[in-house]
Amino acid sequence: MTYEQGASPVAVRTMRKELSRKTYPARATIFAEGDTGTIAYVLLRGDVTIFIGTDHQRLVTRLKPGEMFGVHALMAGSQRAASAVTEHGCEVLAVSEAMLRQKLASADPFLRYWVDYLSKRVIDLSAQ
Amino acid sequence: MSSPASGPRITLFVTVLTLFLTVALSVGAAVTIANYIEARKTALKVASDTFRSTISQINERRLAFFAPVFLITDVLQAAPSLQQAEASRDPILQLVLSSLKSNPQISAVYAGYQNGNYFQVLSISASEKPFIAQLGGPAGTRYAIQEIRSDVSGIRKETWNFLDDDHHLIARIAEHDATYDPRRRDWYRTAMEKPNQTIRVPPYLFATTSQVGMTLAKSFVTNVGVVGVDVTIERLMVYVRSVRANEAHRFVAFDDRNRLLAHFDQHQMFKHVGAPERPAVELATTADVSDPVVREALQRFAQTGPYSITDISISGTTYLATVARQVARDGGIFFVLYAAPLSDFQGTLMDAAKRSIPIALLVFLLLLPGIVYLARAISRPLAKLSDEAELIQSFQLDEPIRMNSRVVEINTLIRSMSGMKSTIREVSKFVPKALVKDILENEDMVAVGGQIRRISILFTDVKDFTPIAERLPAPELMANMSEYFEQLASLIIKRNGTVDKFIGDAIFSFWNAPLTVARHEHIACATALECHAASRRLNARWTENGIAAWKTRFGIHVGDAVLGNVGSSDRIDYTAIGDNVNIAARLEGLNKFYGSSILVSGQIATACSDEFLFRRVDRTQPKGLERALDIFELLGSFNARDSCHNASSWVKLVRDWDSVYEVYASRDWMQTLGALEAFADEYPDDVLAGIYLDRVIGFILEPPADPWDGVIHFGQK
């Protein structure tokens, strides 16, 4: 089923279907550039670094717990534009595409446009 | 309300009975008086007729009495043997004697002459006997003949002859000198002065017999003498007295010079005059009459002349009297007075009352059962009606008025009252019953105004009612709504709640106004639980019948509100207004967000945690509210009587949730996430945990700014 928080609240069981905790060992890749995938991740513990390029030529950012990554795929046609790698191991909370879309859908249209615009700009810039 | 009448209270039954008795007695009295007045009129007429006939009887007797006297006077006056002073009287004697015999009222006939001669025949009755004896006549004398003649020498000699009943001479007194001289007598002189006319001397006492009498006299045509007739009117008087019905009747006759001609008491006819040594009697006048009735009647006569009838009141007794003018045979005028007590013709008013009142009472007694029946017929339904009125006053409106009366107006009253009762019953469905009761009991005018009171407010609403309403046909929808409201509202009313109004699918009700309700916060919670249970039972039945279930949501809050009458003078609503009412409504609405059924404010949870189980839900500040609002969900009751929820299963949940909330409150979102997941493992169906999970993920990504008060702000209602 789809999670629609805006309509009416649902049982926590239903919500948890859209979420999952995952633990990665040191130097593990959470996803790699070019992969297909629409799940976003919230870093709960450990470290995650985002790279662009086949050999991680360019370091985009280092994430701290409480930060989210992997949301671009949603706007970029399910294609990972970067790779997420943990150096010392990490724990993440995976958030389903459905939940992300629902959040977006329930957001203000102005904000929705803004998010969409920024995502496209990021993709454009990445393509250059 | 008008001030009650002072004085003792009387039942309607007694009033009606008294009324009838009064009417019966009044009618009796009125009939009596009317009868009396009518009888009095009749009495006057009867008296008048009686008087007239009595007077005419007396007149007839008077005429009959005097007719032969006049006749004899005329006959003697024309008799040749009497016209000469010297002639023998024998030719006329037999006629005289037979006349005297057949006319006992004539006591004497006589003739007097210019030369002093005199001839007299006396008719001797018992009263004259002493006179005859004194004269020297025998006891058997029936007639005495006195003759005075002058002899040759001119000396007048007198002789007496005494005859018995058969006219035989039985004794004689020889000639002796006469002392009596007719020429000096009144009758002689008067008659001589009026030739050829019968003169009448008013009544006087005869010298010989002391009897009352009159004298008629007439002079001879030759004018040599006068004939006289003495009449004893004793017999006439006896008759006059006997004609009277009783001794109380008065009869008086008097002439135009007020001299008495007749008196019902013969002793009053004359008065004694003159010196004691020479006593004399004289005919009395009307001025001498002593009888008060006659005196009063005479006084009126003096003022008005003759009258046909009048009433005279003498020392408490009423008399009727008449005075009639009469003309005597000789043309003389005289008057007859007759008087008699009114009581002889009519009973007194008291007599009439004594006759009528018992009859009136008897009629009343005979009619009494009917009157009692009638009085009951009026009073009994009215008494019942007043009981009914008291029932209405105390707001017991359920039983219709079942009674009837034979009296049309009372029947109308019963119908009106019955109508009023059912109207109040129906109208009271539109307004809070307690309010109407309050109005009825206090008899206050309902006016716009209000007071601040602490009330517990309960809002209910049906989840997603709008799509339900749109799907159902209107009649079905109204039927379902009525059933739904009946279920819930009756529970609220049973718990002494005031159902302020139905707003679409919502019920707005409160406790502690206008009725004071102890522990109204608890009652509100208990009622919400009962309503929740009732709603679920109703839904179970509806679901069986293919009707979609209606999920009810509740909001409870307690606080001050303005209570009172709001509106125009035509249409006033008793209602509660204020922030606290809005909060209750907002709480009810928040159920939608939290997926809960009964949300209550922190004030309610604090007040009722001794009896009810609450779960902390959130701390929010809905739009429009100035202060943050602690929200709790009412889960159930510890009280066995309020067996709406099985509380025991919820206690652990509340405890576990409180642990989660504690972590949440510490703002360690990673820990909270863990706690929530642990909680979710145990309570996978919990909705609130899902909301918090979602929220906490957000907080991990975007922690709330410091200082965080834990308040969640809602931008919309």
Distance from the B633 Cα atom to the nearest Cα atom in chain A, whole angstroms? 15
Distance from the A11 Cα atom to the nearest Cα atom in chain B, whole angstroms? 4
Percent of chain B residues topping a pLDDT of 90: 25
Q: Is it the case that residue B2 has pLDDT exceeding 60?
A: no
Average pLDDT, chain A: 84
> Which chain B residue's Cα is nearest to A10?
B687
Q: Which residue has the tokens 């005279």?
A: B312
Cβ <8 Å between A13 and B685: yes
Q: Using only C-alpha atoms, what is the Rg of chain B?
A: 65
Count of residues making up chain B: 717
Chain B residues whose C-beta sits inside 8 Å of any chain A C-beta: 592-595, 669-670, 673, 676-677, 679-680, 683-691, 693-694, 697, 700-701, 703
Contact B246/B131 with Cβ under 8 angstroms? no
Cβ <8 Å between A8 and B684: no
Average pLDDT of span B347-366 = 74
Q: Which fold has domain B59-344?
A: Beta-Lactamase (3.30.450)
Check CB contact of A105 with chain B, cutoff 8 Å.
no
Average pLDDT of span B426-452 = 69
Between CA B109 and CA B48 the distance in angstroms is 40
Residue B193: count other Cβ atoms within 10 Å of its Cβ.
10
Q: Between B330 and B545, whose confidence is greater?
A: B545
Enter the ipTM.
Answer: 0.91
> Which chain A residue's Cα is nearest to B690?
A12
Q: Which candidate in B590, B700, B714 is best for mutational testing of the A interface (most A CBs within 10 A)?
A: B700
Cβ <8 Å between B697 and A95: yes
Q: How far is CA B225 from CA A63, B178, B228, B482, B695, in A?
A: 195, 18, 10, 141, 175
Q: Is B305 exposed, middle or buried (0-12, 13-18, 19+ CB in 10 A)?
A: exposed
Four-way CATH pick for B428-645: 3.40.1190.10, 3.40.1160.10, 3.30.70.1230, 1.10.1380.10: 3.30.70.1230
For chain B, domain boundaries:
59-344, 428-645
B chain contacts of residue A9, beta-carbon cutoff 8 Å? 593-595, 687-688, 690-691
> B669-682 vs B648-665: helix axis angle to the nearest 10?
160
- B670 closest CB neighbour out of A8, A10, A44: A44
What pLDDT, in 10s, does the model give residues A84-124? Answer: 999 999 999 999 988 888 888 888 889 889 888 888 887 78
Between CA B335 and CA B238 the distance in angstroms is 19
Q: Is it the case that residue A5 has pLDDT exceeding 90?
A: no
Check CB contact of A111 with chain B, cutoff 8 Å.
no
- A12 closest CB neighbour out of B673, B690, B700: B690
Distance from the B716 Cα atom to the nearest Cα atom in chain A, whole angstroms? 13
Q: What is the pTM of this model?
A: 0.56
CA B178 to chain centre: 91
What pLDDT, in 10s, does the model give residues B396-413? Answer: 777 777 777 777 888 888
Distance from the A85 Cα atom to the nearest Cα atom in chain B, whole angstroms? 20
Q: Which candidate in A10, A12, A92 is best for mutational testing of the B interface (most B CBs within 10 A)?
A: A12
Between CA B342 and CA B36 the distance in angstroms is 12
Q: Tell me which CATH code domain A12-127 carries.
A: 2.60.120.10
Residue A76: the pLDDT is 66
Cβ <8 Å between A12 and B670: no
Cβ <8 Å between A45 and B701: no
Average pLDDT, chain B: 84
Residue A4: the pLDDT is 38
Check CB contact of A12 with chain B, cutoff 8 Å.
yes
Cβ <8 Å between A10 and B670: no
- Provide the sign of the torsion angle of the four alpha carbons A112, A113, A119, A120, taken in this order: positive
- B684 closest CB neighbour out of A5, A11, A42: A11
Q: Name the 3-class secondary structure at B398.
A: coil
Taking CA B542 as the corner, what is the angle to CA B538 and CA B545, rounded to the nearest 5 degrees?
Answer: 150
Contact B209/B129 with Cβ under 8 angstroms? no
Of the pLDDT bands very low, low, confident and very high (cuts 50, 70, 90), residue B384 is confident
Distance from the B689 Cα atom to the nearest Cα atom in chain A, whole angstroms? 6
Average pLDDT of span B229-235 = 83
Between CA A46 and CA A26 the distance in angstroms is 9
Between CA B453 and CA B461 the distance in angstroms is 24
Which positions 72-101 of A are in contact with B (Cβ < 8 Å)? 93, 95
Given phi > 0 = left and psi -120 to 50 = alpha, else beta, which region is B305?
Answer: left
Cβ <8 Å between B670 and A21: no
Distance from the A32 Cα atom to the nearest Cα atom in chain B, whole angstroms? 23
Q: Strand B250-255 and strand B280-283: pairing? A: unpaired
